[in-house]
A = this chain, B = another copy of it.
Amino acid sequence: MNIINEMESNVRSYCRTFTDTFNRAKGSQLFTEKGTEFIDFFSGAGALNYGHNNDFLKQKIIDYVSSDGIIHGLDMFTMAKGEFLQTFSEIILTPRNLNYKVQFCGPTGTNAVEAALKLARKEKNRNNVFAFMGAFHGMSLGSLAATSSISKRNGAGQPLQNVTFMPFPYGFFETFDSIEYIESVLIDDHSGIDKPAAIIVETTQAEGGVVVAPTEWLVRLRELCDRFDILLICDDIQVGCYRTGTFFSFERAAIVPDMVILSKSISGYGLPMSLLLMKPELDIWKPAEHNGTFRGNQLAFVGAKAALEFSKLINIEVELRNKENYIKDFLHMHIAPIDKNIKIRGIGLIWGIDLSKVCVPGLANKLINKCYDLGLIIETSGRNDSVVKILPPLTIEMDLLATGCSIIRKGLLSALID
């Protein structure tokens, strides 16, 4: 599109890979203005777990707009917010025995991360925070300081402060016990590393290259935080909302973080929304101490409520298990054997094909271009963009899932020949 190329900043990126103009989407498919179909293995970077324009949600959205429901509500009392909270409590928190207070942040993941870090520092009266190598938490100054990607960090134009990066069990850092590393740093009165207010963690690092933290590691991390009086913040922006098989990604470890951040798919319909959950005793905010014009995006609340109802209705966790097994089997049986240096990692419906050890420069990018030519939208992530990340809607039909997978295989074989 000429007007976009002319007028939009050079910062634009996905349109450089996905070069068509899109105007319609449904379920797990996107359609260009010319009518070409694409299968979606990207899901809006995790914001469309329930598929595009899910009909169950769509009707509620249209009804709400039609009835002149409040669209912009700041943090006033509104019906839409009240109903969302009621449903969130009933379907999500209560059955899991979780007791969290809810903060509606500026409707971006990064804003909720900022709120969590502020609150942690305030509560513990400490400046430092631990984040993990491989982590992605956002692009505003506070969350960017906790984001590990050097190319993102370089954008800051100033030093990023008050975050210490710890080894995540990946690569060389798997050769030793990273929890013991952290513990040693905390015990050592000469480590030079200031005790943190909080440790912020993604239980599966998506942008880091689909790196799944071992369950036992998560249990030990929670235990370590308790022992040293450090808050544990779980960033579930990309891997929450059922992505890894349960609503919260940490359920597999049976731990309870002190704070949880949700965004991306929480609104269900792709509308901007983010939440910070905090244990009630941490809710030391003063009124308006953190605010934001769009923290009351009512249409998102309507979608969010519907999404929770929908996922209950279709028994989404059971659905997922079948698809998880399908992808896992496919990758291990049909992708891994192609080259012994390929590594497969994943959980639930987030999977990575790590091509970093396959000696073909830029292979992952070649692969996603091939896939696009074959009708599949899929992205890379991780170190040097060398991991192909499979992130279909959780609601994807089995045949589209199968087609998408076979495109990846075709694309990979083709990319290796070039």
Contacts and interface: CB of A to CB of B under 8 A. Distances in A.
B289 A155 contact: yes
B21 A78 contact: yes
Contacts of A197: 157
Q: How many copies does the complex hold?
A: 4
Contacts of A159: 127-128, 158-159, 161-162, 194
A346 interface: no
A13 to B, nearest CB: 4
A272 B106 CA distance: 9
A246 interface: no
A114 interface: yes
Interface residues of A, number: 154
A221 to B, nearest CB: 17
B155 A15 contact: no
Interface centre among A160, A181, A189 (most CB of B within 10 A): A189
Interface string A65-91: 111111111111111111001100100
Contact of A382 (B62, B190, B291): B190
A296 to B, nearest CB: 9
Contacts of A48: 72
B189 A89 contact: no
Contact of A293 (B194, B263, B291): B263
Interface centre among A125, A138, A142 (most CB of B within 10 A): A142
Contact of A11 (B82, B103, B263, B294): B103
Nearest to A289: B155
Interface string A40-52: 0000111110001
Interface stretch (A129-137, A212-220, A404-412): A129-137
Interface centre among A78, A158, A264 (most CB of B within 10 A): A158
Given A22-B76, A121-B158, A208 B190 contact: yes
Contacts of A180: 172
A297 interface: yes
B161 A172 contact: no
B68 A65 contact: no
A287 B11 contact: yes
A110 B192 contact: no
A33 interface: yes
A18 interface: yes
Interface stretch (A144-152, A310-318, A322-330, A363-371): A144-152
B101 A190 contact: no
A271 B380 CA distance: 30
A104 interface: yes
A86 B264 CA distance: 28
Contacts of A167: 181
Nearest to A55: B68
28 contacts: A7-B101, A9-B278, A11-B103, A11-B288, A11-B291, A14-B74, A16-B287, A22-B77, A23-B69, A24-B70, A46-B293, A52-B72, A106-B108, A125-B157, A127-B158, A139-B292, A141-B142, A141-B145, A142-B142, A149-B192, A151-B286, A154-B289, A160-B194, A165-B191, A165-B193, A175-B176, A190-B208, A190-B382
Nearest first, the 6 closest Cβ-Cβ pairs linking A and B are A121-B157, A72-B270, A141-B142, A148-B192, A165-B192, A11-B285
